[in-house]
Amino acid sequence: MLSRLTVSNLAVVERAQVDFCPGLNVLTGETGAGKSVLIGALELVMGARADSSIVRDGAANARVEAVFEFPEGGATAKAVEAVLDDAGIEHAGALTIRRLVAAGGGTGRVWINDCSATVGTLRRLAAILVDIHGPRANQSILEEAFQRGVLDSFGGISRASYAQAWEAYAALQDELDALLAAENPEDEIDLLSFQTEEIAGAGISADDDTLGERHAAAAHAGEIVEAANDLTETIGGDGGMQDLAARIAARARPLARFFPDATAWAEQAEELGMLAGELSRSIADAASRIDADPAALEEMDARLGVVNRLTRKYGASAPSQLLEILAAKRERLAALSGRGRRIEELRAAQDAALATLEQRGAALREARAKAGARLAKAVTAQLRDLGFAKARFAVAVAAAAPARSGCDKVEFVFEPNPGESARALSAIASSGEAARVMLALKSVLAAHDGTDLLVFDEIDANIGGETGRAVGGKMRAVAAHHQVVAITHLPQSAVFAERHFIVSKAVAGGRTRTSIHMAEGGERVAELARMLGGGPEAEKFALSSLAAAAEPDATGLQKSRRQNRSPEAES
């Protein structure tokens, strides 16, 4: 859920902080007070395009911060953590997103949990956390993928069996495409044959990774042996390091009788002598392993030339990587050598896989069609309460070519008025209609949907009376399963809020400033009365409306739950 939204210098909002509750949060206020600015702020932290013109006049930048909280280990937490892991961002408990929009076309910034992030990551998080419905929103309800997901969720439909068949079919297609895409396969076979013979004939091994070092040592064998002898003499000869260490120890140890620190000096000197002896032996041992034979050097020289040439030719980072390149080329050569036979095998296997895929796709399509009929009936009933007395909602499931999602096309169809032909929801619905259809869907799917936060921006525009009350009641019912934030001009809807915020603006010092605060008690009654037109009668109606909204069955939630049980409950 969204627990806090903080806005600074965004349009008419100089500074505002809103602490939301888990249920239904309602924002009200005069037209132009800045309510939609807060929705715009939420869209910004969810990855919407930022324009420097939204920065308040005179400010260097606009800042928006949103804090989300969700149960640890839940589905939302796991999905968010997967996105953050992909982006290399740490996560622990709450999710904090900050976005800065610079004035004058300057560079904006994004932070997630105090780590620099990209707008792309914000958009991935938005798909998990928030669903915004309003005049400016790109409503997910209009997207086929969302509609298919809603249908499957409502029907309790599993795609697992179909998905398994699709993966098997797609793997065969990928292999077949690779073989068919080969140009002049005979030429490639000749080239691969030569390359595999060349690399294999060189007898490359992991030991060749150190060949350069061994060659350098053999080439400078005389210089190395001479230096090694000088070093061992310096360490172990008369007056060398070992002799010096022994003399220090002999001089220090008698002092220990009357100066205890001298014991440590003597021990350290003895340790130094032992270390010097180990160093001398190490140098002598390494020098003895150097092969100074001119014939051996000549052989290494020739070998190094072959290894370096092949490494450069095949783009290997080290000689041992040539073994991996050899294995890959042998695999490709084997595939091409049996290309004709393999293509026949793949086509036969693909025919069988396609038959399985289409069979499972038909079963999936049939399940979706049945679930679609039930969903259409349930949503149409909800739409009756939301001001669409004669509207009809349907789910069209049509056969289509096999794809990852199924062998069908799922489309929500809407007929707002009798006599009008039913068309795709995306083709005819206004933003207000789409938002109310989404509310009807959410009322049906309240316990199935995974999005934590639903935002409705003026969902009740151009309606009133009992329809407005129905919209408020359904938002409250949906808020039993999701956090809901709604901007409304209707008191009939606002009375159902579990937290009511008033957005207002004032002019001071020649500047317009927007403020927002939570309304309670008498202030809330006064705001509802203002929305009703003012006066004693409006205040009395506001009080009675609040009392009615507080009744346990005021939202129709119990009735809704009985009507829209999940398929599992029905069975």
Q: Is residue 292 part of a domain?
A: yes
**Above 80 in pLDDT, residue 249?**
yes
Instruction: Name which residue leads in pLDDT, 37 or 416.
Output: 37
DSSP letter at 447 equals: T
pLDDT of residue 570: 34
Q: Where are the alpha helices (DSSP H) in 386-429?
A: 425-428
Residue 163, amino acid = A
**Above 60 in pLDDT, residue 565?**
no
Q: Is residue 508 part of a domain?
A: no
Lowest-confidence range among 134-138, 542-546, 560-564?
560-564
Maximum C-alpha span of the chain:
117
pLDDT of residue 553: 60
Report the C-alpha gap between 470 and 83 in whole angstroms. 37
Question: What is the pLDDT averaged over residues 388-398?
Answer: 88
Q: Is residue 212 part of a domain?
A: yes
**For helices 261-288 and 221-236, angle between their N-to-C axes, nearest 10 degrees:** 160
Environment class of residue 427 by beta-carbon count within 10 Å: exposed (0-12), middle (13-18) or buried (19+)?
exposed
H/E run at residue 207 = none
pLDDT of residue 571: 27
Q: Is residue 309 part of a domain?
A: yes
Question: What is the pLDDT averaged over residues 523-537?
Answer: 82
List pLDDT tens digits, range 189-198: 889 999 999 9
Q: Is residue 43 part of a domain?
A: no
Question: What is the pLDDT averaged over residues 335-346?
Answer: 84
Instruction: Name which residue leads in pLDDT, 533 or 328.
Output: 328
pLDDT of residue 137: 53
Give the chain's radius of gyration (CA, Å): 38
pLDDT of residue 337: 82
Q: Residue for token digits 């000096």?
A: 265
Lowest-confidence range among 253-267, 373-387, 443-457?
443-457
Q: Residue 284 corresponds to which tokens in the numbers above?
A: 């002598």
DSSP letter at 404 equals: T
List pLDDT tens digits, range 129-159: 888 876 555 566 778 888 898 899 889 999 9
pLDDT of residue 566: 33
**Above 90 in pLDDT, residue 544?**
no
Segments forming the whole domain that contains residue 261? 205-319
Cβ neighbours of residue 173 under 8 Å, at least 6 residues apart?
350
List pLDDT tens digits, range 168-224: 999 999 988 888 877 677 888 889 999 999 999 989 888 888 888 777 777 777 777
**Above 80 in pLDDT, residue 225?**
no
pLDDT of residue 134: 65
List pLDDT tens digits, range 51-96: 888 888 888 899 999 999 988 878 888 889 999 999 999 887 789 9
SS3 46: coil
Cβ neighbours of residue 82 under 8 Å, at least 6 residues apart?
none
pLDDT of residue 75: 82
**Above 90 in pLDDT, residue 11?**
no
Q: Tell me the sheet residues that pair with 26.
A: 486, 500
State how beta strands 499-508 and 130-133 pair. unpaired
Residue 49, amino acid = R
pLDDT band at 521 (very low <50, low <70, confident <90, very high): confident
H/E run at residue 33 = none
pLDDT of residue 429: 56
pLDDT band at 374 (very low <50, low <70, confident <90, very high): very high
List pLDDT tens digits, range 405-448: 999 999 988 887 777 777 887 776 566 677 777 788 878 876 66
Report the C-alpha gap between 130 and 561 in whole angstroms. 24
H/E run at residue 9 = strand 2-10
Q: Residue 552 corresponds to which tokens in the numbers above?
A: 């346990």
The upper half-sphere exposure of residue 512, i.e. CA atoms within 13 Å in the direction of its Cβ, equals 11
Environment class of residue 66 by beta-carbon count within 10 Å: exposed (0-12), middle (13-18) or buried (19+)?
buried
Q: Residue for token digits 């006066």?
A: 535
Give the number of domains in the chain: 1
Contact (CB, 8 A) for 427 and 129:
no
Q: Is residue 126 part of a domain?
A: no
pLDDT of residue 326: 93
Q: Is residue 570 part of a domain?
A: no
**Above 50 in pLDDT, residue 559?**
no
pLDDT of residue 223: 76
**Above 50 in pLDDT, residue 558?**
no
pLDDT of residue 448: 64
Cβ neighbours of residue 149 under 8 Å, at least 6 residues apart?
none
pLDDT band at 562 (very low <50, low <70, confident <90, very high): very low
C-alpha torsion angle, residues 59, 64, 65, 71 (rounded to 10) = 170
Residue 425, amino acid = L
Average pLDDT of the chain to the nearest whole number:
83
Contact (CB, 8 A) for 83 and 42:
no
**Above 70 in pLDDT, residue 458?**
yes
**Above 60 in pLDDT, residue 350?**
yes
Residue 255, amino acid = L
pLDDT band at 269 (very low <50, low <70, confident <90, very high): confident
pLDDT band at 281 (very low <50, low <70, confident <90, very high): confident
Q: Is residue 261 part of a domain?
A: yes
